[in-house]
Structure 1
């Protein structure tokens, strides 16, 4: 049963406020007949936002999704519902608009009540809700609420979303309207660089080249930030070249490339060269999944074939990017910024629940 460990009463995204969430990581599973090893969807809960919904003031977790632009909410379909759905029958303000959408009362980060329209879905889903932070062109229905606009209408804050995750991966923090959380724990290198978006749909940026040790592509391309992915997606050819160069095998039993867990200290950095001579680096300590080992003692490599398992783009970066960088998405300027992430929990005072 999903156990939400909520460390804030509801979403705190205003200036100076942020929301953390600590969850127990679960061992990934092979889903159905899929040949691909998928992480437990609850792993992404480190970035969960909590909102108060309905006239009965129900606190509900929402997962931020940069590959969507819709608010989605899972409705309980019977009295024997799981924990990760919304009992809409308890709210006097709930209105079913059509077969796909509904509206209800939400309390925003400024304690203001609003009626928001959202897409309804049926159980079972990883969390009761998700909030889309892609661009409006991604909206499935034009009348549903676009969260960034709804928030700014009741706030003087800038239209920005900032996110990062501890390097151990068990706690995430987000802030709306300010990127100051990028500097609170950063005493080493406050350098921040900016990249313009190259898509009307996604938070996508241009790449000059991509390199992992001996393997390099200089053809450039574009990459998307995908907070709903536990993998880094890349072209199959590049992935196979990397695996061959470093003796990494595909494990058909688990449906993933696997390595000895200790190789997270020896495999090369993933380096993405971008504009103005800047480089995005993701270390093997982030792309080797050491949070939970496999029954055979090996660890999953968090790389996947983007064509086989992705959502369209050739390259995309999941939550490993947010372990490496504090990332700010600026909706008005259509740009994203990257500040090196040095956030490591003190194991004596704030241990990861592993």
Structure 2
């Protein structure tokens, strides 16, 4: 298992007319055996950042340390040695089309000088891990997208890396196939102890897989923390937008006039209180009517977040007491009209 530390990292691209800053003074640390995610919209700088971690992209400034050793100045044999510790999975698979699946994986083993007499056994082991032993003589064009990505995982693991970089590894896949890939990555992390860094714009992947995550915008890391905390209480505007789109609890504008006489509230629950019958209790205790407009419960790894949009009507005094009671028993309450 390996730790990764990034200190004040920047990446600039020079064009004839200007300097483009793709990554700006970024710092973060990934613990050994952690699944760490980097999330952001297209153009945020995610792919550029992840490609610096094995020096496929040379940083303009800053440091990258693996197990405390700086790698940014390494070249030649020293750099190749470090790269053998780092596997990489790509969005579009990057398989060699005119070679069989066996030969695609063997290519990685050859490049690293893996003993010829042990390659057959190693390739069989890798294909068993991703459940593709029966496809070793097939060509990439004969495989589905999910199968190609499983080959990509097997190839990335060929030389027993300690770190696995995933560059939008599920973006080209459907929902069911994405779930298969995430299960394989969880298994690899759990059983092999690999440190995984995964970049994506898909919050469904983030909430399902990441232990911790960073949110990028315009080359900067704007928010960093535990995945559950970021989903439950996003601090920055871009994070609130991403999480809001994920929960997708917007009310159609045409409904607004029908909700003119009461309170329109967003209630957020988290942890063990998510399933408490709060709405029933409040409506029985106070002379108010509570209509549930929209609701959703999401599981962020093993914890729950619940969001309800409710419309509450009643006399002013009863309404005020009911809202106070609700606020005391949820993680957060927001009046959507204020």
Q: TM-score, normalised by structure 2?
A: 0.28
Find the structure with the greater CA-based Rg.
2
- Give the structure with the larger helix fraction: 2
- The structure with the largest strand share of the pair is 1
TM-score, structure 1 as length reference: 0.28
